[in-house]
Chains A and B, each alone.
Chain A
């Protein structure tokens, strides 16, 4: 393979990697505060993209995206308030079934309201054919938008968790929920916040990559599986791990296309998932948290 082609695959991999990374990080935010694996995470990405496309018919692009993120955050809060909040110490299995149920519900609602058609936002700058040449590789400006957004999300989350009072409360809640309550922290509200946050970043990522990857009512399930793979691979609970793992899975997939028919692309991440669960349940960078989930 020539170097140029390798780089081209790499860029493609990084683009998909962005969305996997963000979905993985979303899994982690909710897992850390609640111990719940939220399989509706992929639907937030779908909702973000689809809502933005609809809003863009009426308002300029930045407003449409902001609106879509806000709507999706509200959806996240609604999911938490209706399906999670009133449960006292639910089992892991029960939570998984509930979140899968929620994801099916959201998907069907999306099918009813938007139909089956595939949509996309316009390119933020330029169009499908415009490209920048970086070191001999042609890169769509949208790829740079995606990567920049991913960086922005990571920096924002880092700042939020390390340097704000609310972020500190969420870390405390993740470390020890009872002790957090004993400090007078309203832990239930933090659970809502974790759903709102991960819905928000999922929606934002869903908007930014949609010009390249397209979006449709049914993209959520695949993304949830990949995001889950990424979260486990990075070590459940570790956001930085998820970002690294997201790009790794994205790039692996992109290169697999050069070796196998494209139809097998999705099988890659499932194979990776199974391999980790068998060989290294705590993930590449992680500790015992993932192993706990497996036995729970």
Chain B
């Protein structure tokens, strides 16, 4: 579905990603964990074409996308739910969702849009209630749902989510992870970036650990969950305390 080979990327004089290689198979939920500033957002933005890769290559659904513009990549079926939601604040919820369907109109699949809208309203009933409200006036959790819904309206093959649980109450976070799982079960491949590494690994099939712009570890979700370094750095378990209790 998606493959990165030795991708370098950065901003101005700053190089953020160094020779990053990873792949996502159809049907998987792949998660990327890493500390603040490791380059997770940059990685997703590079795949989406918002940041230009300086080296290496990106292949999506069999097509080389390294030099494509964002709108072309989205049209190929790769959507990003950006960090911090980025909804169209001065526009209605419904308009936000219809804008998400832009590529569907462009593909001549206009007749599917109404059904997709119903599907999104089914996933997020609160959006149906707020259809005519301005997106900027939604709560943080509702905006996150809108951002996910907007991405789904494009009928993506792969949806990339950048910290969908950021700043949300634990109950809402649970909802969001449930939704991500459901999206995956309905046939969309998922690439998930999360601070909340434990929850992410619990729904993921595989994961990568990104440290200062390099992939330092990869494996199945179970392997990563039981890896001591991962536990210490990203899962917040205090191993020394556990050992003391054990002895």
Contacts and interface: CB of A to CB of B under 8 A. Distances in A.
Interface of A: 165, 168-169, 171-172, 175-176, 178-188
Nearest to B49: A181
Contacts of B102: 169, 183-185
B82 A171 contact: no
A183 B82 contact: no
A171 B154 contact: no
B103 interface: yes
Nearest to A187: B71
Contacts of A165: 105
Interface of B: 48-50, 69-71, 74-75, 79-80, 82, 86-91, 95, 98-100, 102-103, 105-106, 150-151, 154
23 contacts: A168-B91, A168-B99, A169-B102, A172-B99, A175-B89, A176-B87, A178-B70, A179-B82, A179-B88, A180-B88, A181-B50, A181-B74, A182-B50, A182-B79, A182-B82, A183-B99, A183-B100, A183-B150, A184-B71, A184-B102, A184-B103, A184-B106, A186-B69
Given A181-B74, A182-B79, A182-B151, 5 more contacts: A168-B91, A169-B99, A175-B90, A180-B88, A183-B100
A contact patch SS: helix
A182 B45 CA distance: 10
Contacts of B79: 182
Contact of B70 (A169, A175, A181): A181
B82 A184 contact: no
A168 B95 contact: yes
B71 A171 contact: no
- Which 8 interchain pairs have the tightest Cβ spacing? A184-B103, A184-B74, A181-B70, A175-B88, A179-B86, A184-B102, A184-B71, A183-B102
B91 A182 contact: no
Most chain A beta-carbon neighbours within 10 Å: one of B69, B86, B95, B98: B86
B139 to A, nearest CB: 18
Contact of A181 (B71, B87, B89, B90): B71
Nearest to A182: B80
B20 to A, nearest CB: 21
A178 B75 CA distance: 15
A183 B74 contact: yes
A178 B80 CA distance: 11
Contact of B86 (A178, A186, A187): A178
A58 B95 CA distance: 47
A175 B88 CA distance: 6
Given A165-B105, A184-B103, A185-B99, A172 B74 contact: no
A171 B106 contact: no
Given A165-B105, A180-B99, A171 B87 contact: no
